[in-house]
Amino acid sequence: MSFYVIQTIMGILGSIGFSILFGVTDRKLLWISLGSGAGWVVYLVCVAGGYGMFVGLFAASLFVAVVSEVLARILKTPVILMLVPMLIPEIPGGDLYYTMYYLVQRQYVEFGNSSNQVLVEAGAIALGIILASYVAKFIRSFRLHMPGMFQRGKKEGIAGN
Amino acid sequence: MMKETDQKTWEEPMDWERDGSRYLSSIMDIGELLLVHGAEVNRVEDTISRLCGAYGFVRSDVFTITSSIVASAMAPDGTTITQTRRIKDRDTDLGKVELVNGLSRRICENPVSAEMIQEEIRAIRDMKSISEGMKLGMYMLISSSLSVFFGGSWLDGLAAAVSGMVLYGMLRQSAAMKLNGIVQTMMCSAVTALAVSLLVRLGIGTHPDKIMIGNIMLVIPGIQLTNSLRDMINGDMISGLLNMSEALLKAVSVAMGFAVILLVGGGG
């Protein structure tokens, strides 16, 4: 248990490090660290519940993506600024390392397994992000077609992606 | 005709042939700034076409991939202007992306003259990003925290901080030499792996793999790989493929750098 607490804290520290490295240095750091920690907790809960890695990563990245879509609207910043640092704990760096390690060691069976795993993990994360961003888009275009609810309505239209 | 340079706000130009291209060029500068500092392809296209709309172009077609922007805009009098930008080096700075995004929002609501845009763009460009010392600190923080995150001990975290320092120094030095990107990544990861195996020999850190994972997160394109899949699912096939092949090539070059040390040292 205590390992997971330490792991979550370390994930948050990594997120903070990357956000500062990417030029985010103001109050958004607080939101980013909260979101990234919560995202990793979602993953840990899913894995502890027996749902496996794929579902865990999918749920965690979906959660993080939803949080960053919402926060980006509230704080009026680009989504990517919240999303990229928050996703750091989910990034499959470890497995990418082992994939390369097996390749270098010429253990081709393990190499095949772990490279498959990396692709599946990256795919799960990407799927989570995509789902969240499409829901956000859907909500926006839904509001565009409800007259009176959204002032800028017609002018922007659906063309503005 | 009034003197345009005195005007702070935008007015519909008389001569689209001449002024249109100046405005489009400023709009392209904004798009370029976004793309260079790590905004998504999607956002760049969206921003450029919105800005074109705000400046009175009746039609705009924008095509963006990670290394180039092509935009064609048609003025109300039928003049069509096309400009392209080639993006060679990218350097993620999301703080600047936010600033540029704010700028383009403001311009969309209240178009200003081309000189004003240029001034604002220059201000953003000249803005200092974080200091070198801070960057070094972040490299150390990221490598040590992530090596503990991936299951290393505290001592491994310490070793990762030291080798993260080595990695940062290498990256800085080799960037000054203007090497080819692949060679640079290879060299940096080789030196880092050497530092890690030396540290383990000296008794600082016990799991060389965990230490290296902490360092690798800084050079490995995990974010890029995820982004590339996102681009592809999103329908931006070319950008996705470009990003993905770039990420894979980078991963292989990191692996080759480590391989040299692993094969010579036998450890790992």
Domain residue ranges in chain B: 4-126, 132-265
Q: Which H or E run includes A40?
A: helix A28-48
Residue A143 has pLDDT above 70, yes or no: yes
Which of these ranges, A61-75, A140-154, B174-188, B253-267, has the smallest mean pLDDT? Answer: A140-154
pLDDT confidence band for A34 (50 / 70 / 90): very high
> Do B17 and B73 meet the contact criterion of CB atoms below 8 Å apart?
no
State pTM to two decimals: 0.82
pLDDT confidence band for A38 (50 / 70 / 90): very high
Q: Which of A43, A29, A39 is nearest to A81 (CA)?
A: A29
Block means of pLDDT (10 residues each) for chain B, length 268 residues?
A: 49 75 90 89 89 90 91 89 89 86 89 86 86 89 90 88 90 82 87 87 83 84 75 82 86 82 65
> Do B126 and B172 meet the contact criterion of CB atoms below 8 Å apart?
no
A23 to B129: CB separation less than 8 angstroms, yes or no:
yes
Q: Which of B206, B187, B218 is nearest to B267 (CA)?
A: B206
Rounded to an integer, what distance in angstroms lies between the CA atom of residue B183 and that of residue B174? 10
Record the tokens describing residue B248, joined without a space: 């894979």
Query: Which residues of chain A have a CB within 8 Å of the CB of B50?
Result: 160
Query: Which residues of chain A have a CB within 8 Å of the CB of B230?
Result: 126, 129-130
> Strand locations in chain A, DSSP E?
none
Instruction: Write the DSSP assignment of A44-85 as a string of letters.
Output: HHHHHTT-HHHHHHHHHHHHHHHHHHHHHHHHT--HHHHHHH
B226 to A91: CB separation less than 8 angstroms, yes or no:
yes
DSSP tag of B235: T
